[in-house]
Amino acid sequence: MKINQTSLKKLEDILGQANYVVRYERGTFQSGWCLLEEKRVVVLNKFIQLEGRINTLMEIIPQLEINYDLLTHESQKLYDEVINENNKSILTK
C-alpha cells in the first residue's frame, strides 16, 4: 500500500462505513492506539506520522468486527487486501 494521505483516508473510510469513529488524540498509548469497543471508537495517538497511522490502521482493522456488506465495493477490495496482508505477516512470524 502506498504511504500517502489518500491511503489513510481509504482505511478510515472502511472504519467509518463499519460504524466506527476514528479520532486522533493526545495520550500515553502503549501501542499508539486505543480501542473503545463498546462505543466503536478507535483512538490513535495524534503525534504518529502518516506511515505509522497507516500501519496502525492496517493492524487494527483485522481485529475488529466489520460487517463486510456495509462496505462499498472499493472498500471491500481494500479490506480484502488488508486481511490478506495481515494473514501473510502472521504466516511469516
Pairwise pLDDT comparison (33 vs 57), residue with the higher score: 57
Q: What is the pLDDT of residues 14-49, one digit of tens each?
A: 999 999 999 998 877 666 667 776 788 888 888 889
Mean pLDDT of all residues in the chain? 88
Sign of CA dihedral 26, 75, 39, 89: negative
**pLDDT tens by residue, 70-82:** 999 999 999 999 9
Alpha-carbon distance 90 to 93, whole Å? Answer: 5
Domains for the chain: give ranges and CATH numbers: 5-91 (3.30.2010)
Grid cell locating 48: 504518529
Q: Which residue has the higher pLDDT, 11 or 92?
A: 11
pTM equals 0.87
> In angstroms, rounded to a whole number, what is the distance separating the alpha carbons of residues 28 and 70?
32
Q: Please, which contacts does 62-65 make with residues 24 or more away whose CB atoms are closer than 8 Å?
A: 62/86, 63/35, 64/15, 64/18, 64/20, 64/35
Bridging pattern class, strands 41-45 and 33-36: antiparallel
